Amino acid sequence: MPTDTILIVDDDQSARRLLGEYVDSFEFGYDTAEGGEAAIRKLREGNFTIVLTDMIMPGMDGMQLVKHIREHHPNIGVIVITGGQAFSYTDVIKAGASDFISKPFTSDELEAKLNRLVREQNLVRQLEQISLRDTLTQLYNRRYFEGKMLAEAQRAERQRYNIFLAMVDVDNLKGHNDKTGHQSGDKLLQAVSRILQQSIRENVDWAFRYGGDEFGIVFTQVESSQIAKVTERILSKYGQEGFLGTGLSFGISRFLRHPGMTWQEDIDDLVARSDKALYAAKERGKNQVVFDEAS
């Protein structure tokens, strides 16, 4: 099954059919739209890698569509098809197009441009993934958390389900490093990472390294009683790793939407309450779980 899907936009049905045959022969998936307005609806509903659009169309023309895509779908590449109209290369690139192709063109030319753009997009995605991962543990990092937390909080509000944040801190890591060396400390952090990943639901919950010896888990579509069972399993698995003198402390809070507060203010409040619960776990003897009172 093709992994890259192309949206073909042209008001001419025969042109859409021909381009579809080309794209299909290149082994890309594709869909079509008969104009700019229809393309916007398809982009809102579908998952596309590239838009291949004509420039002269009734209603919303190609230039307007390119500007809309750059503003609302910045990760989608756009190749515009020109036919000697009053749109220059500079015009379309300034508007946000990735490339252009002039009529008449051959299938080989179109295939080359599509493949080049796909390679560039794949490289960008790989670099983005690298920038969002912690090098030592391969968990998502704090930068990823900040974007993911907002998206998950907004989705939870729309679909009316609970979302929790667990902050996790390694107890006595400094003492462990002093006794056994930093290489052993790195292995400990990698073990915590592995345990967290094994204990949560893939593509439903997310684990990340917040910084230093502090980790986090975003739990979605779940109740506090279920989280309590998960954290109990995590503590049990960690205890079996044999890192004597250390433990894991958890501070957990539920996301709350407050009237008059921005999304970022509510997320900051969530983090603050999780931190407060984490400190309480430390004060109560460490290696345990404390839920925020509002959770």
**Look-up of token digits 């983090």:** 271
Same domain, 146 and 265: yes
Backbone angles phi, psi at 129, to 5 degrees: -60, -40
Identified catalytic residue from 10, 99, 213, 292:
213
- Domain assignment present for residue 28? The answer is yes
Residue after which a domain boundary falls, among 80, 103, 131: 131
Q: Which two tokens stand for residue 97?
A: 């197009």
136 occurs within a structural domain:
no
Same domain, 120 and 157: no
Cα separation, 194 vs 198, in Å, equals 6
- Cα separation, 221 vs 34, in Å, equals 39
CATH number, domain with residue 239: 3.30.70.270
For residues 12 and 117, membership in a common domain is answered with yes
283 found inside a domain: yes
pLDDT for 125: 80
Of 131, 151, 172, which one is at a domain's C-terminal end? Answer: 131
The CA distances from residue 214 to 142, 171, 172, 218, 263, in Å, are 10, 10, 12, 14, 24
Residues 167 and 90 reside in one and the same domain: no
Beta bridge partners of 209: 215
The predicted pLDDT at position 86 comes to 63
Residue 32 included in any domain: yes
Domain with 70, as residue range(s), is 5-131
Is residue 240 located within the same domain as residue 116? no
C-alpha pair distances (Å), 194 with each of 206, 209, 291: 13, 12, 23
In a shared domain, residues 108 and 168? no
Three-state DSSP class for 199? helix
Please choose, from the candidates 171, 200, 176, the residue with its C-alpha nearest in 3D space to the C-alpha of residue 187.
Answer: 176
Q: What is the pTM of this model?
A: 0.63
Q: Which amino acid is at 248?
A: L
Looking up residue 84, the CATH number of its domain turns out to be: 3.40.50.2300
The tokens for 198 are: 């094994």
Tell me which of 131, 155, 184 is where a domain ends: 131
Asked whether 98 and 87 are in contact (CB, 8 A), the reply is no
One domain for residues 32 and 125: yes
- Based on the number of CB atoms within 10 Å of its own CB, is 147 exposed (0-12), middle (13-18) or buried (19 or more)? exposed
pLDDT at residue 3, as a whole number: 64
The predicted pLDDT at position 161 comes to 94
Q: Is the peptide bond before 58 cis (omega within 30 degrees of 0)?
A: no
In a shared domain, residues 36 and 161: no
Please indicate, yes or no, whether residues 202 and 108 belong to a single structural domain of this protein: no
Is residue 139 within 8 Å of residue 215, measured between CB atoms? Answer: yes
- Residue 44 token pair: 């809102």
Tokens found for residue 39: 């393309």
Q: Are residues 162 and 282 in the same domain?
A: yes
Residue 58 covered by a domain: yes
Count of structural domains, the chain: 2
- Told to judge if 213 belongs to the known catalytic residues of this protein, a careful annotator would answer yes
Residue 122 domain-assigned (yes or no): yes
Measured CA to CA, the distance from residue 295 to residue 274 in angstroms comes to: 10
137 in any annotated domain: no
pLDDT along the chain (295 residues), means of 10: 80 95 94 95 92 92 92 92 74 87 92 94 80 89 88 92 96 94 94 96 93 94 95 96 95 96 95 97 96 85
Residue 118 sits in the same domain as residue 168 = no
- Name 207's bridge partners: 217
First to last CA, the chain: 44
Judgement on whether residues 87 and 171 belong to the same structural domain of the protein: no
